Amino acid sequence: MIGSLFVTGPAGTGKSTFCAAYKDWLISNDYRVAMVNLDPGSEFIPYEADVDIRETISLSQIMSEYNLGPNGAQIVAADLILENLEPIQKYLDELEDYYVIFDTPGQIELFTFRPGSPLLVDTLSDKKAMLAFVTDSVIASSPSGFISQKMLYGSVMSRFYKPMLFVLNKTDLISDEDLKNIISWEESPDLLNDAFMEEKQEMVKDYFLSLLNTFKETQMISKIFPISSRELYGFEDIYSEMSLFFTGGADTDTMYRDD
Ligand SMILES: Nc1nc2c(ncn2[C@@H]2O[C@H](COP(=O)(O)OP(=O)(O)OP(=O)(O)O)[C@@H](O)[C@H]2O)c(=O)[nH]1
Ligand SMILES: [Mg+2]
């Protein structure tokens, strides 16, 4: 494969819709792409999967076999996926000049916080991986919502330490002014802090300002990618970033762990 994109983010932010729309965009621009569904709990997926984990792992079977509820079964499923990587890895190994997109479970903690997930990413991507953190513009258009998404993004980054794209999905649902605000907050921790103080006057100012400054100084989010997976725009920039990283000589070494 040329490289892979693991699509993660909170529940319902449009991960699967993004996977479907981005896959179509890649195909219509003559790129080869394979789709992998890693969410055993999804009832419907809006794309045709080349590999679908639901063919190997059945959530309802796990629930009855282990006597578990849906969340407990998802945890067992996440661990079972790790034991079943070999056939998927073999299949993906054959796809030489392909991009591979991985759709991940709706409950972000199942993918992000399970101990085996970094190994899963390295194994299935042959260590050529980026992550897309998909967030919902409506949530991010309030200062506290934006901060909460940034913190979650940082939390995902701390687990994988891979290049990550902050994908602002559903921008068709917010105004141009809201979008401008979000982008300005990313560029200026002071602006974000002022807006946040206006929203939540009772918060401890210094704590958040130093946190926001740290995010900025470390360039934790280097760029925001505003898209709409429904109205189908914004994919060129995501592709450019992937293409630069996987084929354009970007400095990949510093972003990969050695182990
Ligand atoms: N308006 C709008 N709606 C969107 C967009 N992307 C997704 N949606 C809608 O958001 C809802 C959730 O989309 P999904 O793609 O299932 O989201 P998900 O993150 O995969 O959900 P889980 O896997 O269950 O966490 C659906 O109703 C989508 O049609 C978008 O860009 N704009
Ligand atoms: Mg989904």
Residue 51 confidence class, pLDDT cut points 50, 70, 90: very high
pLDDT exceeds 80 at position 53: yes
Nearest CA to ligand 1 atom 26: 14
Per-residue pLDDT band for 205 (boundaries 50, 70, 90) equals low
pLDDT at position 202 is 65
Q: Which whole number is the average pLDDT over 13-39?
A: 97
Distance 203 CA to ligand 2 centre (A): 34
Write down the mean pLDDT value for the chain. Answer: 90
138 CB-side CA count, 13 A: 7
> Rounded distance, CA 133 to CA 138, Å?
15
Tens-digit pLDDT profile for residues 163-187: 999 999 999 999 999 999 999 999 8
* Whole-number Å distance between alpha carbons of 15 and 64: 28
Q: Say whether pLDDT at 134 is over 90.
A: yes
Between residues 59 and 218, which one has the greater pLDDT?
Answer: 59
Q: State the DSSP string of 86-116.
A: HHHHHHHHT-TT-EEEEE--SSHHHHHSSTT
Pocket test for ligand 1, best of 101, 108, 229, 238 (most atoms within 8 A of CB): 229
Record the tokens describing residue 102, joined without a space: 């991985």
* C-beta separation of 130 from 6 below 8 A: yes
Residue 42 alpha carbon to ligand 2 centre in Å: 6
As a whole number of angstroms, the distance between CA 49 and CA 36 comes to 6
Residue of the CA atom closest to atom 14 of ligand 1: 14
Q: Which residue puts its alpha carbon closest to atom 32 of ligand 1?
A: 170
User: What domains appear along the chain, each with residue ranges and CATH number?
Assistant: 3-137+160-173+222-245 (3.40.50.300)
Beta strands 164-169; 51-52: pairing state: unpaired
Instruction: Please tell me the predicted confidence (pLDDT) of residue 20.
Output: 98
Residue of minimum CA distance from atom 1 in ligand 1: 170
Res 258: pLDDT: 40
74 touches 81 (CB < 8 A): no
Determine the pLDDT at residue 203. 60
Which pLDDT score is estimated for 189?
A: 87
pLDDT at site 248: 85
Q: How far is the CA of 66 from the centre of ligand 2 (A)?
A: 25
Beta strand 33-37 pairing with 99-103: parallel
Ligand nearest the Cα atom of residue 170: 1
The confidence score (pLDDT) of residue 252 equals: 43
Q: Which mutation among 7, 17, 103 tests ligand 1's pocket best, with the greatest number of atoms within 8 A of CB?
A: 17
Q: Is the pLDDT of residue 47 over 70?
A: yes
What is the pLDDT at residue 257? 37
Task: List CB contacts of 125: < 8 A, sequence separation 6 or more.
Answer: 1, 3, 4, 6, 100
**Ramachandran angles phi, psi of 230, nearest 5°:** -90, -45
Task: Decide if 186 contacts 221 (C-beta within 8 A).
Answer: yes
Span 68-105, pLDDT tens digits:
998 899 899 988 999 999 999 999 999 989 999 999 99
Q: What is the per-residue pLDDT across 207-257, written as a single tens digit (0 to 9) for each?
A: 777 888 887 787 777 789 999 999 999 999 999 999 999 998 544 444 433
What pLDDT band is residue 114 in, cutting at 50, 70 and 90? confident
Closest CA to 103 of 31, 193, 22, 217: 22
User: Cα of 246 to ligand 1 centre, how many Å?
Assistant: 27
